[in-house]
Structure 1
């Protein structure tokens, strides 16, 4: 059995082979499909292990090499650097280090997502990039208005008729050209976003876990898909705390010697987009009734709304772990609201409209004020029960470690 360490770069990969306790340099090969397959056919055997760090093209390299070896191991690059820091750093040393760490069973590994999860992640990333670009263009248009002492336009200049609105404003010709160019690009990206939303909606409708997470009142398909794409297989996390840590929502901890532990801001490690989606969902939940809203406002009254949003996002992560691990929907789901969200998702996916049909669908209930009021009254009752339950809780200060020499 051999252990092959690969230090992968954009154009080449450096190879080190560990066999019988000895590491040998095996040169390098180009990073293109034919060269990777040629290396695999020539140098690899079915009982070998290949070790490489996670990079942008890791998934493709892994899938090309897997048929030729016993196992392909993906290393966490940040943790590898923390473990094997060296003043002398070369590609050959990095490749050899990966092989040695794996042989010593001291290699911090990264989970390899399935092709289905990879597709989810690409869809989420595409949508995120489009939204980011559109937000940037909107801000540039607003900056032009601000420079000319014009009041902020709240959406009127962004739509299909916004071009005429822009042209009617007293803006110098050179800035007008810039604003119109931004507007036209905004319309083009809007069409791309609609296509991305349709593709995401089609995948979401086929995923029972998306529907399950949508039973949480403040979670829509975009939030659910983003979280599921980041998490992948929930069985990877043995506890909800492991998922919270993976999403970077756990507080950082500093402790040394006999001093008590100091808890700081959240770590911000892991999947940043999923973390942002959960925080966004937390703000949505704050504006609607329910126990999660009561939790948000309880924390907000003590620590401020920003802290409350992060704390609610962390509670959502714990809730999601339990729902996915146990295969259960949210206990306090609002049925009419859920059907409304699912119908909106179907329309985004391109399903035919049922307007004018003889038999209304289940999503129609949410348009009835009596149904909405009934659901709202019920969830307000649940919120009051939560407030009563936590009313007499007393926070205990953290236990401090006793100083040496004191009893």
Structure 2
């Protein structure tokens, strides 16, 4: 068995080929093209393992090596640095260290997502990006309108929702100062453009929802609509990689930080080092969930009385994640508890 450590960059990678005894067989700069990588792999042997640190463009190399028959492990960058801390950092040393850690079976491995999962991730994150930008544009419009005359504000008070069809028509007809009018028109145009892009993204999300059994199961849990259901199913990926619900909680980052020394232990705020998309979805689902489900509401109110509303919100998010873990493991829909009348 031979091992390859890859220090990956946008245009090129530095690769080190090492045998089982730690002897470097080959090393050098390789451009990120199929022909260059194939040339490096010549003479590497039939059984080859490779390791690459997780990064923005790492999956391009992972997919290429997978097509060439190389088994690739993706390493957690910060944990690799913790294991192999060095004051001198070069591409050559980094690729050598990765190959050495892989040979010694010391790589802190992260989940390798299938290509279809990554494609779904891009759809969902682009929609979230559009929604975030739309919110900023809406706030910009409101900020501009707040600085207008009393007559303009009185005219705007005729509509409850500024961003309804009627509200947008009113914004276009609003009489403003010569410098503010083009600013408002430009912001309204951007808002309309974003609305169209979000609708297109919604169609893609609906298509993913129809294909994903896991998303349809999560949709039965209180608080999760189609978008959040697809998002959670995509970000979790293979639920089998979590041995128990607590492992999922840690992955999401909804567990408290802990400082323990001697006989004293202190639990602080949640760690927030997990998957921010899952954490966002779980926390956002709390309010609609406690309105829709009596038992979840009772659980939230009990936690709020004992501690405070923020702690109760996180605890309820953890409860929702546990429910999702169970229904995905057991491949069944959520069954709300029915109380006797």
Q: Same fold (TM over 0.5)?
A: yes
| Contact 1:51–1:74, Cα closer than 8 Å, also in 2 | yes
Determine which of 268, 272, 279 is the counterpart of 1:268.
272
Q: d(CA) in 1 for partners of 2:144 and 2:26? A: 58
Q: How far is the alpha carbon of 1:326 from its aligned partner? A: 1.3
Q: Unpaired runs of 5+ in structure 1?
A: 334-377, 385-407
- Structure 1 segments, 4+ long, off by >6 Å, are 151-155
Determine which of 285, 309, 312 is the counterpart of 2:316.
312
SS of structure 2 residue aligned to 1:148: coil
For each residue in 1:277-321, what CA deviation from the matched residue of structure 2 results, as whole angstroms up to 9, or x when unmatched?
A: 110101211333421121112212232222222111111111111
| Contact 2:5–2:17, Cα closer than 8 Å, also in 1 | yes
Q: What corresponds to 1:283 in structure 2?
A: 287
Aligned pairs, number = 335
| Contact 1:50–1:69, Cα closer than 8 Å, also in 2 | no
Q: d(CA) in 2 for partners of 1:28 and 1:280? A: 46
For each residue in 1:4-51, what CA deviation from the matched residue of structure 2 results, as whole angstroms up to 9, or x when unmatched?
A: 1011112211112222322366111223455445544x3644301111
2:235 pairs with 1:193? no
Q: d(CA) in 1 for partners of 2:173 and 2:23? A: 76
Q: What corresponds to 1:135 in structure 2?
A: 135
Determine which of 320, 323, 328 is the counterpart of 1:324.
328
| Contact 1:255–1:262, Cα closer than 8 Å, also in 2 | yes
Q: d(CA) in 1 for partners of 2:218 and 2:17? A: 46
| Contact 2:5–2:97, Cα closer than 8 Å, also in 1 | yes
Q: d(CA) in 2 for partners of 1:314 and 1:217? A: 13
Q: What corresponds to 2:10 in structure 1?
A: 10
| Contact 1:227–1:274, Cα closer than 8 Å, also in 2 | yes
Q: d(CA) in 2 for partners of 1:238 and 1:122? A: 27
TM-score normalised by structure 1 residue count: 0.76
SS of structure 1 residue aligned to 2:24: strand
More deviation in 134-143 or 64-73? 64-73
Change (3 A) 1:140 1:32: farther
More deviation in 69-78 or 158-167? 158-167
TM-score normalised by structure 2 residue count: 0.90
Q: Unpaired runs of 5+ in structure 2?
A: none
Q: How far is the alpha carbon of 1:158 from its aligned partner? A: 2.3
Match runs of 1:295-306 below 5 Å: 295-306=299-310
Q: What corresponds to 2:249 in structure 1?
A: 244
SS of structure 1 residue aligned to 2:162: coil
More deviation in 142-151 or 98-107? 142-151
SS of structure 2 residue aligned to 1:229: helix
Match runs of 1:214-225 below 5 Å: 214-225=219-230
| Contact 1:163–1:180, Cα closer than 8 Å, also in 2 | no
Q: How far is the alpha carbon of 1:264 from its aligned partner? A: 1.1
SS of structure 1 residue aligned to 2:87: coil
